[in-house]
Amino acid sequence: MEKDSRIRMLFFGMFVVLILLTGCAAQPALVPSKYDEAGLNQLAGVVMTTTQTSYVSGTHNIQLKIRNDTDKEYSYGVAFAVEQKVDGKWYAVPFKGEPVFNQLAVILAPHSENLESVDLGILAGELKPGLYRIVKEMEGEVVTADFTIAQPSGGGGGY
């Protein structure tokens, strides 16, 4: 009987370790940005910013302001990417799965600005404190808006 008890305890211990390991899956490896820094924000007269420069960890929506100071009308889609700067280099932040974006064109009229919401909830995990940028393609060019994620005041953490 004692041997049966030890075998059951061994299997139970292996089961617990297996459960703990699956719950602590490693974060995906960082993938370098696919964008060349020299080719960013080259759409003269068009500027994209976030409505705030800093957000607290746990923020799920960020507002973008895309301003057109030209006489030309531009169009762009709702698709976006988020990248994080780590050790001086930009890396893509992964999505929870393959993102599905509506294929509709947003019009940016001459001498106007558009506000739009970016849902960070479709990213794999919450953003940790650091420097980030939202990336959008517009008229074959790439525009970005930098922002920071800060630790919530009050100290609590765990992120």
Phi, psi (degrees; rounded to nearest 5) at 143: -115, 150
Phi, psi (degrees; rounded to nearest 5) at 8: -60, -40
> pLDDT tens across 84-107, in order?
999 999 999 999 988 888 888 999
Task: Give residue 130's pLDDT.
Answer: 96
Phi, psi (degrees; rounded to nearest 5) at 118: -110, 120
Domain ranges of the chain: 31-150
- For domain 31-150, give its CATH number from 2.60.40.2550, 3.40.47.10, 3.40.50.720, 3.40.720.10: 2.60.40.2550
Q: Do 49 and 65 form a contact (C-beta atoms < 8 A)?
A: yes
Phi, psi (degrees; rounded to nearest 5) at 20: -65, -40
Q: Do 62 and 155 form a contact (C-beta atoms < 8 A)?
A: no
> pLDDT tens across 40-98, in order?
999 999 999 999 999 999 999 999 999 999 999 999 999 999 999 999 999 999 999 88
Q: Do 90 and 82 form a contact (C-beta atoms < 8 A)?
A: no
The tokens of 95 are what? 């999505």
